[in-house]
Amino acid sequence: MASIQQKIFNEMVHKLGMNQNDRLISKAIEIIELIKAKSNEILKHMNDNAKVILCLDISCELLNYPFAETSLAIQQSCLKKSIYTKNKKILLKVLDLDKKLTIDEVIRKLGITHTNNIEKLSKEIFKDYMKQQTYEDQDINPAVFVMSVYFACKYENVKVLKKNVLNLSNLTHSQWGIMEKSWEKWTSNFNKAKGSSKKEAKAVKENIPESIEDVPETIKSKRSETAEETYDEWAKRILDKAYQELRLDK
């Protein structure tokens, strides 16, 4: 038989339009009990809805599950967005989970599996963005990390759920739209560079002869320039060099 706490959390999950999940409910109950044990005084300053929703929010992050629409969660919590965010930070601190967001953490939370190219491109975009800024690392908005990964995924044709991206960024739909439009302009250089690199690699590949016999006669005649090097040795060296350049371009 379900406990009173389980019923309360299940009802809120339904109100938030989320899928029923026993593991999520168990984690949320575990979180609220842990907070009570560490600092019950903090919870006394929150309404019942806010406590439940914040614990579900934190549990989703820990389990890498999608949370509800931020605007709906805030509405149901009966809190202002700034108060909701502040309370969440306080609870994360009590739980020793208040670590800074990073590129790697965003990739993990978005559930991206093939991470090598995404991680590299995300960090390049982030680095380029930071060159334009004047503030220190501790002042970086979480949305900057999220946006860097988002555009890396976009240019690598990796799909991510917009809802999850928005939740991580702590931005509203309109705020995200403004920031996304701004980033589209200067990050397009990364997309063009990527496309250019692929074209160059393709051109190199198309110009590499399939075998020594395919080397043009005009090139073969140059073997006399190296007296001690046989034609086969020379042709092999040229092919090896071309393939090496191709690998570097990939």
pLDDT single digits (tens) 65-115? 888 888 899 999 999 998 998 999 899 989 988 777 899 989 988 888 877
**Cβ atoms of residues 110 and 102 within 8 Å:** no
Q: What is the DSSP string of 41-82?
A: HHHTTS-HHHHHHHHHHHHHHHHT-----HHHHHHHHTS-HH
**Cβ atoms of residues 51 and 34 within 8 Å:** no
Q: What is the pLDDT of residue 162?
A: 86
Does the pLDDT at position 21 exceed 60? yes
CATH of domain 4-94: 1.10.472.10
Does the pLDDT at position 8 exceed 50? yes
Question: How many Å separate Cα 214 from the centre of its chain?
Answer: 46
Tell me the CA distances in angstroms from 130 to 10, 59, 134, 148, 181, one per residue in order: 42, 31, 8, 11, 18
DSSP state of 17: T
Confidence class of residue 167 from pLDDT cuts 50, 70 and 90? confident
pTM greater than the 0.75 cutoff: no
Domain 103-200, CATH 1.10.340.30 — does that match?
no
Distance CA 154, CA 186 (A): 14
**Cβ atoms of residues 168 and 142 within 8 Å:** yes
Comma-separated ranges of CATH 1.10.472.10 domains in the chain: 4-94, 103-200
